[in-house]
């Protein structure tokens, strides 16, 4: 294998792939990147067996071939090389030389045969969508997944694909985020549970201007755009019926300033319990009052003006969940709905674009007098 490539293109390809390479593994070849030189380009691939990424970058190929080389070392070398063309030559299946200007490196690799094969995902009947819509869904929903291992199904994002729309939902049982956007290039319908780590790769690798194709096999999902492809193993099992917990009868409405409410919550959190983060919200007239009482620490109060419709309400929440919810709201004003102190509250952006619907839900905490 012999090829010459610009330092910038080598760095670009390595940057796309290296994040899919595990930092610790019992299988040595997984610490490597697969390099395949063909015609006028090289293909770089990396995987941790759950997520796989490959990308193609242009190069002058003198001799076709393939080898796997240590991902971290190759990335470190590429980052420090001078601004000149890079020549890579492999001697056999386990040695390669990297030359750039006066710099020369010899690296030991492993044969291509030891590298895991990628999932067989066919893109014949793929869904097609602008990457900007995926960015929107992932950016506003994935934060709500569970990080506890007791319910693995909640460690993924539910992705409902239909012919004319797609929706993502994530929850940890205490808070939930749901967003839906239109889909013009839909095929058959599917309900998928996708690891958030894979979705983050999609957001990182595809720019908002890209058009992305999405296809699935029995237990894998594939994404491709341009010369880049991403594959992920799907989480298997039935997702909980989230529709059951979304309240339909909330009759109390509060419109708040997102920044002002977040600031008040941060102040209250200083005195809130480190275990429950419990704070009390009191809504009456045009005022939202915050209060915290922590036996071992002290108490705090704050208030802010709001637009409120409904009877006086006192309700408790985990301040950390409310802060997180406000962080991902895309507008300056947020509309909360309530029913009773023991019923779920919802939050929606006010005046956001009509092409997407977005709603978050948070469960209350029991108030202790």
Whole-number Å distance between alpha carbons of 24 and 316: 42
CA 301 to centroid of chain Cα atoms: 36
What's the token pair of residue 263?
Answer: 């600031």
| Other C-beta atoms lying within 10 Å of the C-beta of residue 106 | 11
What's the token pair of residue 279?
Answer: 């704070």
What is the reported pLDDT for 296? 87
- The answer, as to whether pTM is greater than 0.85, is yes
Give the orientation angle of helix 71-80 with respect to helix 7-18, to 10 degrees: 150
Q: Where are the beta strands (DSSP E) in 59-174?
A: 60-63, 65-70, 85-90, 95-100, 103-108, 127-130, 157-161, 165-171
Q: Enumerate domains of the chain plus CATH numbers.
A: 2-114 (3.10.150.10), 127-242 (3.10.150.10), 246-362 (3.10.150.10)
The terminus-to-terminus CA distance of the chain in angstroms comes to 74
Beta pairing partners, 300 = 292
What is the reported pLDDT for 353? 78
Is residue 125 packed enough to be buried (19+ CB in 10 Å), middle (13-18) or exposed (0-12)?
exposed
- pLDDT tens for the 369 residues of the chain, in order: 999 999 999 999 999 999 999 999 999 999 999 999 999 999 999 999 999 999 999 999 999 999 999 999 999 999 999 999 999 999 888 999 999 999 999 999 999 999 999 999 999 888 999 999 999 999 999 999 999 988 899 999 999 998 889 999 999 999 999 999 998 876 778 999 999 999 999 999 999 999 999 999 989 999 999 999 999 999 999 999 999 999 999 999 999 999 999 999 999 999 999 999 999 999 999 999 999 999 889 999 999 999 999 999 999 999 999 999 999 999 999 999 999 999 999 999 999 877 789 999 999 999 876
What is the reported pLDDT for 369? 65
What is the reported pLDDT for 368? 75
What is the reported pLDDT for 355? 78
The three-class DSSP label of residue 295 is coil
Helix, strand, coil % over all residues of the chain, rounded to 5: 20, 45, 35
| Other C-beta atoms lying within 10 Å of the C-beta of residue 205 | 23
In contact, 303 and 289? CB cutoff 8 Å: yes
What is the reported pLDDT for 286? 95
Whole-number Å distance between alpha carbons of 134 and 194: 13
CA 31 to centroid of chain Cα atoms: 23
Whole-number Å distance between alpha carbons of 48 and 122: 21
């Amino acid at each position: 294998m012999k090829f010459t490539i610009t330092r910038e293109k080598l760095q670009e390809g390595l940057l796309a792939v290296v994040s899919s390479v595990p930092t610790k593994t019992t299988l040595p070849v997984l610490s490597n990147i697969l390099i395949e030189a063909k015609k006028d380009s090289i293909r770089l691939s990396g995987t941790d067996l759950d997520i796989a990424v490959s990308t193609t970058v242009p190069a002058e190929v003198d001799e076709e071939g393939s080898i796997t080389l240590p991902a971290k070392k190759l990335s470190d070398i590429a980052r420090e090389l001078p601004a000149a063309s890079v020549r890579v030559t492999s001697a056999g299946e386990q040695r390669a030389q990297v030359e750039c200007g006066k710099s020369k490196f010899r690296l030991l690799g492993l044969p291509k045969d030891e590298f895991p094969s990628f999932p067989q995902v066919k893109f014949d009947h793929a869904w097609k969508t602008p990457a900007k819509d995926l960015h929107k869904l992932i950016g506003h929903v994935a934060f709500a997944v569970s990080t506890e291992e007791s319910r693995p199904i909640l460690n993924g994002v539910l992705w409902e694909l239909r012919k004319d729309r797609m929706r993502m939902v994530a929850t940890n049982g205490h808070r939930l985020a749901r967003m839906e956007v239109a889909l013009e290039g839909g095929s058959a319908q599917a309900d998928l549970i996708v690891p958030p780590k894979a979705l983050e790769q999609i957001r990182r690798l595809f720019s908002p201007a890209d058009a992305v194709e999405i296809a699935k096999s029995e237990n894998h999902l594939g994404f491709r755009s341009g010369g880049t492809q991403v594959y992920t193993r799907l989480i298997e099992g039935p997702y909980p019926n989230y529709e059951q917990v979304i309240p339909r009868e909330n009759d109390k409405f509060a419109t708040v300033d997102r920044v002002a409410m977040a600031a008040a919550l941060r102040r209250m959190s200083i005195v809130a319990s480190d275990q429950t983060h419990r704070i009390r919200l009191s809504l009456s007239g045009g005022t939202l009052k915050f209060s915290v009482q922590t036996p071992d620490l002290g108490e705090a109060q704050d208030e802010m003006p709001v637009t409120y419709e409904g009877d006086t309400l006192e309700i408790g929440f985990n301040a950390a969940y409310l802060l997180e919810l406000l962080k991902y709201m895309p507008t300056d004003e947020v509309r909360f709905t309530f029913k009773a102190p023991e019923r779920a509250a919802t939050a929606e952006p006010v005046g956001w674009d009509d092409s997407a619907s977005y709603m978050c839900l948070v469960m209350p905490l029991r108030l202790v007098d």
